[in-house]
Amino acid sequence: MRRIRTSAAALLTGLALTVPVAATADATTPTVAPTSAASTTTCHGLSFKSYPTIRKGSKGAQVKVMECLLREAGRSTSVNGKFSAHDASQLAKYRSSMGFRPLKVGGRIVWSSLLSKGTRPALKGGDTGVNVLRLQRTLQSLGWTKVDLNSRYDAKTVSVVKSAQKQAHQKRTGKATVALWKDLQHGKLSGPAKKKASSKGATALAFAKKQLGDSYRFGGSGPSHWDCSGLTAGAWKKAGVKLPHSAAAQYHRGKKVSKSNLKVGDLVFFYSGPSHVGIYAGHGKIIHAPRPGSKVSYIKMSYMPFKGARRP
């Protein structure tokens, strides 16, 4: 009887459940909710504050949930919280099946697609139940954190749905329609715009952009000749931050930043040492001073071995 009461209470508050629910369950571990006839999605996590980009080598509770969701979608993933090369390959196949680029990483649109997977019921203010919770989880995974995971189609849910409909160029009724579900399941919505870069980072990037086309010179620190760390030091000096004229030394300054959380202006390092640095310019690109005989230019980060990133 205690287990039954525990399960019911947890469902009402939007928490994930394991069947059966043990009194000693670890509250930080993602679990599997009971299957509902109203929804084909049975894998859920706890109320995560964020749904990060998942790739080979990723670990943790969110990883376990994505693995579980991919398995429910017909992919042969492990469900152990450790994203292996095989898991990444299965993710790419899922992406391809949904019309996404077959990348081996999963961010907002993959979370949206997996969490919303299932039926497409019409929902409106005042409705309750597992499908409302499924919608709320999906919206939250896209970055609409204002919505509560309470299984109730309340005023906050109505407001966020209107925001999603606006982005999808649909009539802003605040009601979950088949069209909205379809866009969520097929990755048509990107969620609210990510937070703008700090004013200092934007200032540093703006300076770097003005140097595009300048010549490379070893030891160069401007005004028209630069080496890699001279350019980044000059850019951040413009933002009011003093940095040493050395890629290796700059690597130990500021806050460490993961590749998935880069903001414009961040310092991005490459090769061992590291021996090269550039300014993050968004969309997977940096501005850098490459080598003798070259000019300050844009380049895709993927063209060089990533070492790490810092935010001064």
Q: Is 68 a catalytic residue?
A: no
Q: Which two tokens stand for residue 204?
A: 């540093």
Q: Does residue 299 contact residue 286 with C-beta atoms inside 8 Å?
A: yes
Ramachandran region, residue 63 (left: φ > 0; alpha: ψ -120 to 50; beta: rest) = alpha
Q: Is 288 a catalytic residue?
A: yes
Cis upstream peptide for 223 (omega within 30°): yes
Q: Does residue 289 contact residue 231 with C-beta atoms inside 8 Å?
A: yes
Return the DSSP state at 222: S
Give me the phi and psi of 240, to 5 degrees please.
90, 15
Neighbours of 162 (CB within 10 A): 16
Neighbours of 151 (CB within 10 A): 21
Of 43, 245, 276, 283, the catalytic one is: 276
The neighbouring-strand residues paired with 311 are 255
- Cα-Cα-Cα-Cα torsion 43, 64, 185, 264, nearest 10 degrees, comes to 150
Q: Which two tokens stand for residue 116?
A: 């919303």
Q: Is 186 a catalytic residue?
A: no
| Strand pairing category for 225-226 and 215-216 | parallel
Of 228, 245, 252, 283, the catalytic one is: 228
Q: Does residue 266 contact residue 201 with C-beta atoms inside 8 Å?
A: yes
The neighbouring-strand residues paired with 310 are 256, 267
Ramachandran region, residue 240 (left: φ > 0; alpha: ψ -120 to 50; beta: rest) = left
Q: Which residues are catalytic?
A: 228, 276, 288
